[in-house]
Structure 1
Amino acid sequence: MRLVPVHLLQPGMVLGKKIYNADGLILLSDGVKLTSSLINRLTDLKLGYVYIEDAATEDIVIPQLISEESRLSAVRSIQASFKNLENQSSLKGSFLHLGKTFSGVVDSVLDEVSSMEVSMVLLTDINASDYNLYQHSLNVCLYTMVLGLSYGYSRNQLYMLSLGALLHDIGKTRVPASIVQKPGRLTDAEFAEMRKHTEIGYDILKNEPNIPLLSAHCAFQHHERLDGSGYPRGIQGQDIHEFAKWIAITDSYDAMTTQRVYQPAKLPHEAVELMYTGSGTLYEQSFLAIFRDRVAIYPPGITVMLSTGESGVVSRIHARIPHRPVVRVLNNPKGEPLRTPYEMDLSQCLSVMICGIGEAVYA
């Protein structure tokens, strides 16, 4: 299976992974043979890449942090609870169901992620057609959970951190949908309204008996930045709780790597590079370094150009050194297909570098 730019799709190619819409519903199933009309539809959705099956990469497995069944179940739980909040006319009173519902989601996901031999921040939604609050909340939870595990938090700390990550944007349920779902840049007035979601989220969560106060502070502080340029309070450095510093990183990363109507999804290496411009000013430098070391910046299936002039597809990633994956070399320096493709382990071939994301392989 390989990751192919939509503009290079051709009729007859077979879809390797399902494509979802903003509500998590399947638009196109895996195994579907693409036609010109289906390719036009994918182009209209403004998707950047899709997974395609082909003979040269049929054994390449695209890893997942959690199973598709677990993801769908979690998203449905998030969606039901968030929609319930959206439909309530007042926030007075208690929301005891929040703690029960989301504790179950976090415990289930934490068990699954913890059981993996080695967990990494793996690209999740490149096959989704648009940003979605429910998918985003789960993605940020998963990514933050991986970082928390790597950092060595206890089970209780992981639970509070992961619950805070899952609920970091719950305040958006009380911001007008016309603003949250606007397919374009917000006006100054709209952005001022959007910024209120941090305080609203904190107000929803802070007095819930089944929600730890630290988790509520994740909703409150996840847009604060080290240099004081964040919101809602503009606090700096050590005044920001470390849980919120983790979520600031994962929230930004997921926003960058998720397809938007007004902004194409960035590939992981592009997002990480952009985030590093804020190292030490926006994001905690030591946390960002851990994040970098846990991100599969060249996901399996993506085509890469090597410093040797050869090109191929990432076939496997090393958990401890994800920036040095195993590459299945398919083309020689002239761009000609090799009669016998071979695997090059960049963790061993230290003189060879990935120098770009290639498209020539598909031409």
Structure 2
Amino acid sequence: MRLVASQTLQEGAELARPIFNEKGKVLIQKDVTLTSPLIKRLQERGVTYVYIKDELTDDIHINSPLPEEMRLEAIQLVKQSFTTFQNNGFEKSAFLLDKTSKNMTNMVDSMIGQVTGNDEILTVMSDILIADDYVFAHSINVTLYAIALATELKLPAKQIRQLGLGAMLHDVGKMFIPDEILNKTGKLTDAEFDIMKSHTEKGFNFLRQSTSFPLLIAHCAYQHHERLDGSGYPRGISLEEIHPFGKILAIADVFDAVTSNRVYRDAMLPQEGLEVLYAGSGKLFDRELVRTFKNAIAIYPNGATIRLSDNRIAIVVKQNNQLHERPIVRVIKENEQDVQPYDIDLSKQFDLTVTSYQI
């Protein structure tokens, strides 16, 4: 199968994987032949990429970070929990947080098992999902990225679990931000942005009421917008004042934010998201953690079309786990002309590099 941008889809393309919304409902089944109205619907609903069937890539395997059922279950758990907190208000929800703590802990344990039990690196862009509620899908994505980074760092199991819970709950304070600000499609005013930024303090004050979670979980909500140079919020702390979990979540949070489709901006590709992190490396984000994060994810996902340094066009076939920037690729064009496909292992051919996506 092949990864294609929805903006470049052609009539007659056949879906290789279904399209879900975050409630678990299949909006478009796999094997459906796409028509112009269906393609337009995908574009309007914010689907940036789809996987299509392609005889040149039938043997390419796409690894999902989570089974689709587990991912949808996780998003529903976060949505139901957060919505309950919102509906009951700040003061009345502490006991509800304790009631849902077991379910959240079990979900984080399951996600850790999926990430650590897979000997392949985390492949982003592998779940084609329409998320009507960004906060909930974002919470699950950040949890996955944080777990992957913590695993690459070889942190103890107890710390990975705590970090996973902190990641799942890092944005819970947004449930206490007025909807007209949280869901505003236009640019926030300075006053509105100040209110939005308060979600870190609201999340901290809410989570520290819990008797089921350690205070460190609350600090994950408190510190994920802090930056090394002190330019973050809410306290403007810097360097070693920021807990290591805060530094990890800053990276996971920003990466998912820029690689997710939003109403005001198209999603960046993984390589572009990493460039954002590297641009702030050493100033905003911990340099060593950015480097480690790069090693924890697939920069060029299986099925993606890329351009090589000699201008050949190829499709990513398989990851090389020890050399993430140098996957096995299948050349399909030379000098902009179709050719009989053949595979190249870039880990064995160092005179070639990937220069860009061609999605």
Q: Normalization by structure 1: what TM-score?
A: 0.94
Letter in 2 for 1:196: S
Q: Residues of 2 paired with 1:209 and 1:145: CA distance?
A: 24
CA deviation after TM superposition for structure 1 residue 221, in Å: 0.4
CA deviation after TM superposition for structure 1 residue 120, in Å: 2.5
CA deviation after TM superposition for structure 1 residue 337, in Å: 1.6
Instruction: Confirm or deny: 8 A CA contact 1:22 1:132 kept in the other structure.
Output: no
Where does the alignment leave 5 or more consecutive residues of structure 2 unmatched? Answer: none
> Out of 255, 270, 291, which is 1:268 matched to?
270
Q: Residues of 1 paired with 2:66 and 2:248: CA distance?
A: 20
CA deviation after TM superposition for structure 1 residue 61, in Å: 1.3
- Please say which of residues 301-310 and 79-88 is displaced more in the overlay: 301-310
Q: Does 1:167 align with 2:188?
A: no
Partner of 2:256: 254
Instruction: Confirm or deny: 8 A CA contact 1:124 1:139 kept in the other structure.
Output: no
Residue 133 to residue 298, structure 1, CA distance change in 2 (3 Å): same
Q: Residues of 1 paired with 2:239 and 2:352: CA distance?
A: 39
Q: Residues of 1 paired with 2:225 and 2:116: CA distance?
A: 27
Partner of 1:60: 60
- Please say which of residues 86-95 and 261-270 is displaced more in the overlay: 86-95
What SS does the corresponding residue of 2:298 show, helix, strand or coil?
coil
CA deviation after TM superposition for structure 1 residue 130, in Å: 5.5
Partner of 2:141: 139
Q: Does 1:293 align with 2:295?
A: yes
Partner of 1:336: 337
Partner of 1:319: 321
Matched ranges for 1:197-216 at <5 A: 197-216=199-218
What SS does the corresponding residue of 1:87 show, helix, strand or coil?
helix
CA deviation after TM superposition for structure 1 residue 112, in Å: 2.3
Letter in 1 for 2:36: S
Partner of 1:88: 88
Partner of 1:42: 42
What SS does the corresponding residue of 1:54 show, helix, strand or coil?
coil
CA deviation after TM superposition for structure 1 residue 24, in Å: 5.3
CA deviation after TM superposition for structure 1 residue 162, in Å: 0.9
Q: Residues of 2 paired with 1:229 and 1:312: CA distance?
A: 41
Q: Residues of 2 paired with 1:193 and 1:19: CA distance?
A: 35
CA deviation after TM superposition for structure 1 residue 242, in Å: 0.3
Letter in 1 for 2:39: I
Instruction: Confirm or deny: 8 A CA contact 2:86 2:176 kept in the other structure.
Output: yes
Partner of 1:354: 354
State the Cα deviation string for residues 220-240 of structure 1 (Å, max 9, x = none).
Answer: 100000001000000010000
Q: Residues of 1 paired with 2:9 and 2:121: CA distance?
A: 31
CA deviation after TM superposition for structure 1 residue 295, in Å: 2.1
Residue 129 to residue 89, structure 1, CA distance change in 2 (3 Å): closer
Residue 48 to residue 118, structure 1, CA distance change in 2 (3 Å): closer
Q: Residues of 1 paired with 2:67 and 2:268: CA distance?
A: 24
CA deviation after TM superposition for structure 1 residue 131, in Å: 5.8
- Please say which of residues 127-136 and 161-170 is displaced more in the overlay: 127-136
- Please say which of residues 215-224 and 350-359 is displaced more in the overlay: 350-359
CA deviation after TM superposition for structure 1 residue 96, in Å: 1.5
Q: Residues of 2 paired with 1:131 and 1:76: CA distance?
A: 11
Where does the alignment leave 5 or more consecutive residues of structure 1 unmatched? Answer: none
State the Cα deviation string for residues 73-128 of structure 1 (Å, max 9, x = none).
Answer: 11111111111011013424533213222112111211222221244353355653
Letter in 2 for 1:212: P
Q: Residues of 1 paired with 2:101 and 2:7: CA distance?
A: 44
CA deviation after TM superposition for structure 1 residue 320, in Å: 2.1
Q: Residues of 2 paired with 1:38 and 1:87: CA distance?
A: 36
Q: Residues of 2 paired with 1:66 and 1:129: CA distance?
A: 16
State the Cα deviation string for residues 189-221 of structure 1 (Å, max 9, x = none).
Answer: 111111111111111111311111111110010
Q: Normalization by structure 2: what TM-score?
A: 0.95
Residue 227 to residue 243, structure 1, CA distance change in 2 (3 Å): same
Instruction: Confirm or deny: 8 A CA contact 1:131 1:259 kept in the other structure.
Output: no
CA deviation after TM superposition for structure 1 residue 187, in Å: 1.4
Residue 43 to residue 117, structure 1, CA distance change in 2 (3 Å): closer
What SS does the corresponding residue of 2:130 show, helix, strand or coil?
coil
Partner of 2:111: 109
Q: Residues of 2 paired with 1:83 and 1:183: CA distance?
A: 20
Q: Residues of 2 paired with 1:229 and 1:121: CA distance?
A: 31
Letter in 2 for 1:26: V
Letter in 2 for 1:337: D
What SS does the corresponding residue of 2:330 show, helix, strand or coil?
strand
Partner of 1:74: 74
CA deviation after TM superposition for structure 1 residue 41, in Å: 1.6
CA deviation after TM superposition for structure 1 residue 308, in Å: 2.2
Q: Does 1:149 align with 2:151?
A: yes
Q: Residues of 2 paired with 1:267 and 1:168: CA distance?
A: 24
CA deviation after TM superposition for structure 1 residue 177, in Å: 1.8
Q: Does 1:2 align with 2:2?
A: yes
Letter in 1 for 2:220: C
Q: Residues of 1 paired with 2:80 and 2:131: CA distance?
A: 21
Instruction: Confirm or deny: 8 A CA contact 1:63 1:122 kept in the other structure.
Output: no
Residue 178 to residue 207, structure 1, CA distance change in 2 (3 Å): same
State the Cα deviation string for residues 46-92 of structure 1 (Å, max 9, x = none).
Answer: 43322111111111111111211111111111111111011013424
Letter in 2 for 1:349: Q
